[in-house]
Structure formats: C-alpha cells, structure tokens
C-alpha cells in the first residue's frame, strides 16, 4: 500500500469517527502531518498495589479519589484493575499478578495512527495498533523498553462515539436498577454489554455507581 493510499484510509477512518466531510478530515490530518507530530494530551500512571482494601483507605478514604470502575475476573478475586479519578486527574491501580505484569503509563495522543506510522518508518513492523483495546475499546499501541516497562499509547474516541456511549450507560443504569427493584442478582458487566453494547469499561463504570456492586465484589 502506498503512502498516499494509507493517508486516504486514515482520512476515511477519521470521517467515520468524527462525522466530518472528506475535505475537513483531510485538512485536519494534513495539519498534523506538517506539524511537529501527534500531541500527547494526557498521562495516566498505573501503580502496582498489594492489597486493595488497604489502598482504598489511602486513595479513596484519605486522598478523596473516586472509583471510576473496577475489574475482577470473578467476584472476590484477588486480582483486579481499579481506575480512580479526582478533578480530572486519573490513575489506575493493579492488584495481584493478573491480568498485567510490570509497570506502565497510559498516554493519550491525538493521532495514534500517525504516531505508529512514524515509528514504523524508523523500525518497520515495530508498532501495531490494537483497534479495540480493552476495557474502553480505545485504539492502543503498546511499547516495551529493554527493562520491561510499558507505555500504552491511546487515542480517545470521537465526540460522536462518546455521546453514543453515554446513551448506552443510561440504558445500563436502567437495567441494573430493574434488577435491584425486582430483588434479582446484579447483572455482570458482560451481561450489560450483551444487552446494550460495548465497551465493557462503560459497564464496569456503571456498576460501580451502585453500592450493592462494590459490596458484592469486595475481597474477603
């Protein structure tokens, strides 16, 4: 595939994401091609922890972070990924050996495909874009340094897609409340996704809005 056809594919991909016309999408990408390169717009540290109960007292009870979402492979599992937020600041905690190892940082960039193209120009085949990186189905490239430290480069979803996800979150909240009102067990994140749609990160975020879910998944 030639460079020109690759660029046209990126223009069409941007059109699908943003709803822009071909001319507008091409103009935006042309500006990025002639600038100093894609911009890093946000940084999220990912920290290893040994016990979420103790870390909750530190980060939530003391420092005032809120739990955006919490992922566990099964209820009461000792392995978890927890996303915390406060006033626009985000960080993630990882408990146990799974699902990730080592240390890493999440970086948000405004044109991930251009960045991957830049890296592949220096070292062909070195950067592969994961189109639907979990849990939020965000385009991601993972780079690993010689010591095993990772950077997860992510491109945020478009405003159009974010509005669609906000609407799915409303439907998910309704389903969870219906379960509670009927005295039924809470749905799992996967069940919400099966009924409403991806990404599973939105389902986890919705479930964490309900105290009943936090109690049900708290490690014993």
Higher pLDDT residue, 170 or 57?
Answer: 170
Q: What is the pLDDT of residues 68-84, one digit of tens each?
A: 888 887 666 778 889 89
pLDDT in tens, 140-190: 999 877 657 788 889 988 889 999 999 999 999 999 999 999 999 999 999
Region 37-156: CATH code: 3.10.180.10
Angle at 186 between CA 67 and CA 60, to 5 degrees: 15
Predicted local distance difference test score (pLDDT) of residue 31: 59
Q: DSSP readout, 143-178? A: EE-TTS-EEEEEEPPPHHHHHHHHHHHHHHHHHHHH
pTM reported for the whole predicted model? 0.64
Distance CA 2, CA 17 (A): 23
Lowest mean pLDDT among 59-68, 90-99, 115-124: 90-99
Asked whether the predicted pLDDT for residue 40 surpasses 80, the reply is no
Q: What is the DSSP letter of 111?
A: -
**23: pLDDT strictly greater than 80:** no
Residue 118 and residue 121: Cα distance in Å, rounded?
Answer: 5
Structural contact between residues 87 and 68, judged by C-beta atoms closer than 8 angstroms: no
Model pLDDT, residue 1: 43
State whether the Cα torsion 72-76-80-83 is positive or negative. positive
The tokens for 108 are 């948000």
CA neighbor of 206 nearest in space, from 174, 160, 164:
174
């Amino acid at each position: 595939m030639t460079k020109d056809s690759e660029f046209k594919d990126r223009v069409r991909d941007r059109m699908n994401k943003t709803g822009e016309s071909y001319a507008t999408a091409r103009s935006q990408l042309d500006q990025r091609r002639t600038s100093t390169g894609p911009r890093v717009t946000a940084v999220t540290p990912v920290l290893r922890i040994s016990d979420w109960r103790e870390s909750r007292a530190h980060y939530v009870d003391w420092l005032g972070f809120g739990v955006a979402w919490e992922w566990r492979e099964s209820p009461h599992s000792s392995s978890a990924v927890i996303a915390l937020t406060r006033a626009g600041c985000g960080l993630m905690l990882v408990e146990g050996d799974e699902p990730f190892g080592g240390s890493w940082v999440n970086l948000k960039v405004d044109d991930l495909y251009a960045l991957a193209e830049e890296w592949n120009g220096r070292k062909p085949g070195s950067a592969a874009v994961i189109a639907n990186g979990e849990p939020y189905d965000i385009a991601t490239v993972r780079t690993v340094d010689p010591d095993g430290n990772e950077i997860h480069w992510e491109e945020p979803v478009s405003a159009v897609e974010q509005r669609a996800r906000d609407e799915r979150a409303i439907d998910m909240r309704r389903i969870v409340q219906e379960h509670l009102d009927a005295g039924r067990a809470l749905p799992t994140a996967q069940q919400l996704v099966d009924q409403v749609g991806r990404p599973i990160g939105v389902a986890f975020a919705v479930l964490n809005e309900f105290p009943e879910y936090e109690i049900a998944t708290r490690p014993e």
